[in-house]
């Protein structure tokens, strides 16, 4: 295997064939077309290819494409690609051989998501066009995955689970479900007074810093944050016990925030928490060009009003009768 320790990490194309002259031909054609855009690795057996793959993954490389011969000593090409696919489904798989049976081709199509089957001797233009199309497919898949990850920052995964949706890419306008859940509202008291002492940039930093203390209290108690409303947080829980534990942890987190920011003009801060258990509708509203997830229920309004009453009653937490 070529040493990659001193190279920039680029996507890797791996070629597998027990004939060295075939590997040399593949290397020349790939280098001629793609140059140093990608890393190229070559193995003369399936076993060597698996070792290379393990090393590449350990070193943090992205496997982009596997181009494999079919008839090789030991493990055949369809067996190799199927085995790779079990642990690494993302790389594009191409079978390049002149002696593959129909059963072998069907096996690798079904078990390794084969991208293309090319026969030997191959035409260089056809081979390179196939590789180009495979790279485009891989890059599109990578971009789609990244987009899904970015979208997940805006839509809680628990919200998607409640809608029985696997990915943000599957969310559709009008999706909705009815659940009985606890709504928790928490809000910093006298935030307007605090914000008047800060510049817009300081306000922005203050809120983000504060929310870093609050969010784990929700997540660690099996809840999820539905909305950030300035300094306020609206969170949802499936059980009253989890919500109560989260409320306790939020108050402890605020104490840590005050300790960590001692001497700042905005500390100590205090927050009220209101909670209500009731039936609500989780769903997707808006228009086809601008959608957002939301919760619609009187339970939301009750929890918000309870939070507002914490100041009146001088209490840190208020819950409704239905909470119990």
CATH number for the domain harbouring residue 274: 3.30.70.1230
Query: For residue range 41-96, what is the model confidence (pLDDT) as tens digits?
Result: 999 999 999 999 999 999 999 999 999 998 889 899 999 999 999 989 999 999 98
Query: For residue range 27-41, what is the model confidence (pLDDT) as tens digits?
Result: 999 999 999 899 999
Neighbours of 157 (CB within 10 A): 13
Q: Pick the more confident residue, 13 or 169.
A: 13
Q: Are 173 and 318 part of one and the same domain?
A: yes
Supply the pLDDT for residue 169.
62
Rounded Cα distance, 93 and 136, in Å: 13
Supply the pLDDT for residue 287.
85
Q: Which of 123, 152, 181 is the last residue of a domain?
A: 152
- pLDDT band at 101, cuts 50/70/90? low
Helix (H) or strand (E) holding 19: none
Q: Pick the more confident residue, 296 or 162.
A: 296
Both tokens assigned to 7: 């190279």
Q: Are 243 and 164 part of one and the same domain?
A: yes
DSSP state, 189? T
Q: Are 311 and 170 part of one and the same domain?
A: yes
Both tokens assigned to 266: 């905005």
Q: Is it the case that residue 7 has pLDDT exceeding 60? A: no
- Count of structural domains, the chain: 2
Q: Spell out the residues 6+ positions from residue 161 whose beta carbon is closer than 8 angstroms to its own.
A: none
Question: Do β-strands 92-96 and 232-237 pair in parallel, antiparallel, or remain unpaired?
Answer: unpaired
Neighbours of 111 (CB within 10 A): 15
Share of the chain above pLDDT 90, in %: 58
Share of the chain above pLDDT 70, in %: 91
Per the structure, the complete domain to which residue 186 belongs is given by 157-323
- Within a domain: 7: no
Q: Are 93 and 143 part of one and the same domain?
A: yes
- pLDDT band at 159, cuts 50/70/90? confident
DSSP state, 156? -
- Which backbone phi and psi does 6 adopt, to 5 degrees? -105, 15
- pLDDT band at 173, cuts 50/70/90? confident
Q: Is it the case that residue 1 has pLDDT exceeding 60? A: no
Question: Do β-strands 116-118 and 271-287 pair in parallel, antiparallel, or remain unpaired?
Answer: unpaired
Helix (H) or strand (E) holding 220: none
Q: Are 133 and 194 part of one and the same domain?
A: no
- Within a domain: 312: yes
Q: Are 170 and 319 part of one and the same domain?
A: yes
Helix (H) or strand (E) holding 248: helix 240-260
Q: What angle do CA 253, 187, 235 make, to 5 degrees?
A: 75
Q: Spell out the residues 6+ positions from residue 269 whose beta carbon is closer than 8 angstroms to its own.
A: 188, 189, 194, 210, 254, 257, 258
- Within a domain: 41: yes
Q: Are 121 and 263 part of one and the same domain?
A: no
Rounded Cα distance, 233 and 246, in Å: 12
- pLDDT band at 6, cuts 50/70/90? very low
- Within a domain: 204: yes
Query: For residue range 309-321, what is the model confidence (pLDDT) as tens digits?
Result: 999 888 999 999 8
Q: Which of 90, 121, 152 is the last residue of a domain?
A: 152
- Within a domain: 6: no
Q: Which of 152, 168, 194 is the last residue of a domain?
A: 152
Q: Are 99 and 216 part of one and the same domain?
A: no
Q: Are 272 and 299 part of one and the same domain?
A: yes
- Within a domain: 164: yes
Both tokens assigned to 200: 């817009």
Supply the pLDDT for residue 92.
95
Say how far residue 289 (Cα) sits from the centre of its chain: 23
Q: Spell out the residues 6+ positions from residue 85 whose beta carbon is closer than 8 angstroms to its own.
A: 93, 111, 112, 113
- pLDDT band at 148, cuts 50/70/90? low
Q: Are 196 and 318 part of one and the same domain?
A: yes
- Within a domain: 178: yes
CATH number for the domain harbouring residue 44: 3.40.50.2300
Average pLDDT, the chain: 87
Q: Are 319 and 179 part of one and the same domain?
A: yes
- Within a domain: 3: no
Q: Are 166 and 304 part of one and the same domain?
A: yes
């Amino acid at each position: 295997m070529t040493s990659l320790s001193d190279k920039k990490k680029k996507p890797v194309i791996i070629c597998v064939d027990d004939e060295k002259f075939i590997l040399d031909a593949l290397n020349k054609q790939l280098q001629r077309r793609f140059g140093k855009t990608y890393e190229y690795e070559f193995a003369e057996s399936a076993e060597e290819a698996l070792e290379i793959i393990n090393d590449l993954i350990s070193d943090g490389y992205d496997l982009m494409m596997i181009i494999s011969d079919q008839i090789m000593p030991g493990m055949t090409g369809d067996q190799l690609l199927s085995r790779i696919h079990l642990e690494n489904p993302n790389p594009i798989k191409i079978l390049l051989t002149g002696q593959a049976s129909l059963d072998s081709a069907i096996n690798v199509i079904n078990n390794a998501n084969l991208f293309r089957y090319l026969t030997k001797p191959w035409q260089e233009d056809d081979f390179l066009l196939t590789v180009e199309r495979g790279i485009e497919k891989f890059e599109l898949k990578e971009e789609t995955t990244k987009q899904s990850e970015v979208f997940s920052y805006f839509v809680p995964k628990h919200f998607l689970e409640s809608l029985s949706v696997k990915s943000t890419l599957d969310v559709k306008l009008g999706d909705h479900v009815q659940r009985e859940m606890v709504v928790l509202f928490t809000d910093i008291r006298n935030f307007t007074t605090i914000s008047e002492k800060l510049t817009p940039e300081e306000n922005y930093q203050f809120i983000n810093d504060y929310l870093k203390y609050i969010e784990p209290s929700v997540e660690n108690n099996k809840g999820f944050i539905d909305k950030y409303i300035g300094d306020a947080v609206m969170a949802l829980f499936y059980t009253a016990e989890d919500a109560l534990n989260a409320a306790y942890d939020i108050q402890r987190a605020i104490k840590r925030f005050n300790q960590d920011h001692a001497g700042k003009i905005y500390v100590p801060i205090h927050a009220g928490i209101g909670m209500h258990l009731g039936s609500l509708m989780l769903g997707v509203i808006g228009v086809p060009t601008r959608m957002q997830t939301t919760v619609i229920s009187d339970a939301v309004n009750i929890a918000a009003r309870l939070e507002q009453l914490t100041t009146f009653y001088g209490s840190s937490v208020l819950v409704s009768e239905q909470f119990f």
